[in-house]
Amino acid sequence: MRRPLIAGNWKMHKTVGEAIELVAALKRELYDERKTEIVVCPPFTALGAVGEMLEGSVIRLGAQDCYWETEGAYTGAVSPRMLRDAGCAFVILGHSERRRSFGETNETVGRKIAAALAEGLTPIVCVGETLEKREQGVTDEIIRKQLDGCFAARDEGVLRACVIAYEPVWAIGTGRTATSAQAAAVHALIRMWARERHGQGAADALRVIYGGSVTADTIKGIMREDGIDGALVGGASLDAASFCRIVRYYT
Ligand code: PGA
């Protein structure tokens, strides 16, 4: 019922030329992919060029962040309207790297979600605990707090229009993937949170994807879990062959 989603988060990698090269290879390999919904999230500078290349393709474009205002004197910021104009359909919000290095909070993520939705973008909202919190045994509490903070508006329509990415901070870029069981437990918690708020229908419809050192070798085990609907892939999305294998995890 929920279509699997594999999104590549390129982070601060790839010049325009390198982005074009990678996307050309992805288009060649994945042109007939129907089962998995595919998203690539290049840096802002490459969005326009990649957006043009993806016109009419099954691969969709996403950005890695946005601001909540539409336009104005906000030096360095990029608005949802600009992302839409560049061809984006998705935007990653609340990534732990933005929370850690750029002062992102649940409150600002909430504002960005509203602004992105107003432009018709699908937010991929990231939540996840640090190693310290996991070891303290407060993972569930942290995830709930992030979800409550990001979705403070308590609007069912908002949640239905979003994808949630569970990304344990200790698994990002470390080569240390959460076990399928660890990931599945938090995914179940996120779905329970959605059910408590908006009922079974909303919980069943919500796509919850996993992120954190996903590779072509680990994706199968992750996707075998019931409540895991896809992956947000960092490092392994920078190489065409490995990203294609992840997209086609079911073969
Ligand atoms: P990683 O990054 O796959 O390199 O761990 C995932 C992410 O941060 O989205």
Q: Residue 106: helix, strand or coil by DSSP? A: helix
Q: 213 CB under 6 A from ligand 1? A: yes
CA distance 14 to 41: 11
Distance 222 CA to ligand 1 centre (A): 14
187 assigned to active site: no
Ligand 1, pocket-test mutation among 6, 12, 98, 233, most atoms within 8 A of CB: 233
CA distance 229 to 6: 9
Give the count of domains, the chain. 1
CA distance 39 to 68: 22
215-to-29, 41, 70, 180 alpha-carbon distances in Å: 18, 17, 36, 13
167 assigned to active site: yes
- The active-site residue, picked from 37, 95, 97, 104, is 95
- The active-site residue, picked from 97, 104, 167, 198, is 167
Whole-prediction pTM value?
A: 0.98
Q: How many CA atoms lie within 13 A of 95 on its CB side?
A: 23
Helix axes 106-118, 139-150, angle to 10 degrees: 40
Distance 8 CA to ligand 1 centre (A): 9
Domain holding 74, by residue range, is 5-247
pLDDT in tens, the chain (251 residues): 899 999 999 999 999 999 999 999 999 999 999 999 999 999 999 999 999 999 999 999 999 999 999 999 999 999 999 999 999 999 999 999 999 999 999 999 999 999 999 999 999 999 999 999 999 999 999 999 999 999 998 899 999 999 999 999 999 999 888 999 999 999 999 999 999 999 999 999 999 999 999 999 999 999 999 999 999 999 999 999 999 999 999 99
Dihedral in degrees, nearest 10, Cα atoms 209, 204, 184, 140: 90
Residue where the block lists tokens 């988060």? 9
The pLDDT, as a whole number, for residue 1 is: 82
Dihedral in degrees, nearest 10, Cα atoms 56, 61, 67, 70: 0
The pLDDT, as a whole number, for residue 177 is: 87
Distance 147 CA to ligand 1 centre (A): 20
Domain holding 38: CATH number? 3.20.20.70
Q: Which of 42, 41, 38 is nearest to 5 (CA)?
A: 38
The pLDDT, as a whole number, for residue 35 is: 98
Relative to the CA of 236, which ligand 1 atom is closest?
3
